[in-house]
Amino acid sequence: MQKKAKMILDKDFKISRVDKRIYGSFIEHLGRAVYDGIYEPDHKEADEMGFRKDVIELVKELKVPIVRYPGGNFVSGYNWEDGIGPKEKRPRRLELAWSSLETNQIGINEFSDWAKKANTEIMMAINLGTRGIDAARNIVEYCNIREGSYWSDLRKSHGYKEPHNIKLWNLGNEMDGPWQIGHKTADEYGRIACEAAKVMKIVDPSIELVACGSSNSSMPTFGQWEATVLEHTYDYVDYISMHTYYGNEENDIENFLAKSLDMDAFIKAVVSTADYVKAKKRSRKTINISFDEWNVWFHSRENDKKIEPWTIAPPLLEDVYTFEDALLVGCLLITLLKHADRVKIACLAQLVNVIAPIMTEKGGKAWRQTIYYPYLHASTYGRGEVLASVIDSPKYDSKDFSDVPFLESIAVINDENDELTIFAVNRDKADSMLFECELKGFENYRFVEHIVLENSDIKAANTKDNPDNVVPYSKNDCVIEDSLVRVLLPRLSWNVIRLAKSSK
Question: Which of the residues 201 through 220 are near ligand AHR (CB under 6 A)?
Answer: 215
Question: Which amino acid is located at 291 in the chain?
Answer: F
- Is residue 28 close enough to count as binding ligand AHR by CB under 6 A? yes
Closest to ligand AHR by CB, 31 or 472? 31
Q: Using DSSP, how many helices (H) and how many strands (E) does the chain show?
A: 11, 26
How near is the Cβ of 111 to ligand AHR at its closest, in Å? 16
How near is the Cβ of 216 to ligand AHR at its closest, in Å? 8
Does the active-site annotation cover 293? Answer: yes
Does the active-site annotation cover 481? Answer: no
Closest to ligand AHR by CB, 242 or 343? 242
Do 390 and 24 form a contact (C-beta atoms < 8 A)? no
Contact track, ligand AHR, 342-381, x by CB under 6 A: -------xx-------------------------------
How near is the Cβ of 5 to ligand AHR at its closest, in Å? 34
The span from the CA of 16 to the CA of 270, in Å, is 18
| Active-site choice (293, 324, 408, 419) | 293
SS3 readout for 171-229: ECCCCCCCCCCCCCCHHHHHHHHHHHHHHHHHHCCCCEEEECCCCCCCCCCCCHHHHHH
Do 373 and 471 form a contact (C-beta atoms < 8 A)? yes
Contact track, ligand AHR, 292-311, x by CB under 6 A: -x------------------
Q: What's 79's DSSP letter?
A: -
Q: Which helix (H) or strand (E) holds 254?
A: helix 253-257
Number of residues that bind ligand AHR (CB under 6 A): 10
Contact track, ligand AHR, 165-184, x by CB under 6 A: --------xx----------
How near is the Cβ of 99 to ligand AHR at its closest, in Å? 13
Query: What is 297-336 written as a DSSP string?
Result: --TTHHHHTTPPSS-SS--TT----BHHHHHHHHHHHHHH
How near is the Cβ of 293 to ligand AHR at its closest, in Å? 5
| Active-site choice (174, 324, 408, 419) | 174
**Strand partners for 291:** 346
Closest to ligand AHR by CB, 129 or 163? 129
Do 14 and 388 form a contact (C-beta atoms < 8 A)? yes
The span from the CA of 232 to the CA of 295, in Å, is 29
What's the longest Cα–Cα distance across the chain? 72
- The residue of the chain with the least Cβ separation from ligand AHR equals 72
Using the rule CB under 6 A, give the single segment among 67-75, 113-121, 138-146, 491-499 that binds ligand AHR: 67-75
Contact positions vs ligand AHR (CB under 6 A): 28, 71-73, 173-174, 215, 293, 349-350
Task: Please list the active-site residues.
Answer: 174, 293
